[in-house]
Amino acid sequence: MSETSKLYTSILSGNAKDAAAVVQQALKDGCDPMDLVAKDMIPAMDEVGRRFECEEYFVPELLLSGRAMKAALEYVRPLLAARGAKPAGHVVIGTVKGDLHDIGKNLVASMLEGGGFEVHDLGADVAPERFIEAIVSRNPDIIALSALLTVTMPSMRTTIDALKAAGVRDRIKIMVGGAPVTESYAEEIGADAYSDNASAAVALARRLMNTKAVG
């Protein structure tokens, strides 16, 4: 099996130690880091996402694969950065003010990282001002808002309104999600996109990046 196949397999099986060892060997053997990402690592994560959608993988398998991807990326990322290569996008994510739930948000963050996005996680119970501050200081492409309670859903609207009032709304795309959130609510509050599950969030984020590029 070639090193690159082993890389694909070690990410698919969620073996972070192997993934790190294999990628180091592959780089030593002269493999192009961009090829490693594009031809092995991201396809491995896409397959992981497919298996999760088909109910072949549970979340632990998905996250362990994400962890293996990250372990391999540690060696590849500096080489890509030196060439000026960029991540798939930059996302700031958080659970809105008043809501302490973070499992769904953590899952989406992990999936986005596995999908090649750079993610800055603000945590839970995040006030609108912190999202604004993150937009100003980090210049993200996407803000991802999570809420798990119907009584905290209004905080999504409050947050988006605050972004508008601060004049930063048009700088970013907004995606929302969480158990009580619906597509119609997302439209109502002025979000750009809605996802009802973590693995679909990656495809959604990629679509938003495309619309940002052409918009």
Partner 1 sequence: MSRTYTGLAVTSADELVFGKCPNPVSCGFDLTIGAGQVFPEVNFTLPAIAISGDTWPRILAHYEEMARNILKRAISLQVPGIVLEFELLPPMTEEPEWGGELTALLHRHLAEAHAKFGLKSALRVTPTDIRDQGKPPALRTGPAWDSLRRCFELCISAGADIVSIESVGGKEVHDPGLLYGDLRSIVFALGCLAPRDTAWLWGQISRMCADSDKKCIPGGDTACGFANTAMQLAHQKMLPEVLASVVRAMSAERSLVAFEHGAIGPSKDCAYEGPVIKAITGCPISMEGKSATCAHFSPLGNIAAAMCDLWSNESVQNVRLLSGNAPEAYTELLSYDCRLMNVALSKGQGALLRDWLTESDQWLNPQAAILSPAATCEIAEAIVGTNGAYERTLCAGRAAVTIIRRAVEEKRLRLSARELQWLDRIDAGLSEMPSDEAELWDEMLQQHEGSFDPSSYGWAQ
What is the C-alpha to C-alpha distance for residues 190 and 91, in angstroms, rounded to an integer? 18
Q: How far is CA 59 from CA 48, 55, 98, 123, 169, in A?
A: 10, 10, 26, 20, 33
Length of the chain equals: 215
Q: State which amino acid sits at residue 62.
A: L
Taking the complex as a whole, how short is the minimal distance between the CB of residue 31 and partner 1, in angstroms? 29
CB nearer to partner 1: give 24 or 197.
197
Residue 129 in the binding site for partner 1 (CB under 8 A)? no
Give rounded-to-5 percent helix, strand, coil for the chain.
60, 10, 30
Alpha helix (H) ranges present in 36-117?
Answer: 42-53, 59-82, 103-114
Taking alpha carbons only, the member of 90, 141, 140 closest to residue 117 is: 90
Residue 102 in the binding site for partner 1 (CB under 8 A)? yes
Are the C-beta atoms of 161 and 191 separated by less than 8 Å? Answer: no
Mask for 166-185, x = binds partner 1 (CB under 8 A): --------------x-----
Residue 151 in the binding site for partner 1 (CB under 8 A)? yes
Give the binding range for partner 1 (CB under 8 A) out of 59-67, 79-87, 112-120, 202-210: 59-67
**Residue list 1-20, contact with partner 1 (CB under 8 A):** none
Give the binding range for partner 1 (CB under 8 A) out of 5-13, 118-126, 167-175, 205-213: 118-126
Q: Which of 34, 38, 85, 100 binds partner 1 (CB under 8 A)?
A: 100
Interface contacts to partner 1, rule CB under 8 A: 55-56, 58-61, 63-64, 67, 98-100, 102-103, 106-107, 123-125, 149-151, 153-155, 158, 180, 197
